[in-house]
Amino acid sequence: MTTFSPDPIRTSRLTLLPLRAEYADEMAVVLSDPALHTFTGGTPASAEDLRARYERWVTGSPDPAVAWCNWVIRLRDEACMTGTLQATITTDDRGAAAEIAWVVGTPWQRRGIATEAAQGLVARLRQHPVHTVVAHIHPDHKASAAVAAAAGLTPTDQRHDGEIRWQLTIG
């Protein structure tokens, strides 16, 4: 059984709040730009669909070795949600591996929010017995590659569904 749970994470401008289904209405607006799906596929979800998805995520993974940790990214000065951050943590015989991903709504992009959030998450993961942090990024997705690099990950020569595996080995 894994012991990971998404506690709040505070960085200089942001509070990463553990996801709740009630955030779906605000997040549906934050994530409403179809351009957010350019590299990852799919289309923006309605508030209703997002609420159902968030309810599933909060309920947690059916596999006891896997923890689904999700946060909304809150910009404290503007008292608003700006995006989401995800860590899927799989316990193994060496500790745990985390797969991370991020989304920032179009109006808040290019302000270093994804970078600050990802750095805060990786710092938190370092406090747990996480030996590897992984992200899968489309080869043309410069912004996401920059976020991963700033969080300490480096690209590998491994690909998965056309995406490059980025990795940080902690110990």
**Site residues for ligand COA per CB under 6 A:** 36, 39-40, 101-104, 109-115, 135, 137, 141-144, 146-147, 150
Least separation in angstroms between residue 64's CB and ligand COA is 26
Rounded CA separation 159/155 (Å): 10
Least separation in angstroms between residue 1's CB and ligand COA is 28
Q: Which two tokens stand for residue 104?
A: 């920032």
User: Which residues, 6+ apart, have CB-to-CB distance to 82 below 8 Å?
Assistant: 14, 30, 73, 74, 75, 104, 105, 108, 113
Residue 99, CB-side half-sphere exposure with 13 Å CA sphere: 11
Shorter beta-carbon distance to ligand COA: residue 6 or 120: 120
Least separation in angstroms between residue 121's CB and ligand COA is 12
Shorter beta-carbon distance to ligand COA: residue 27 or 137: 137
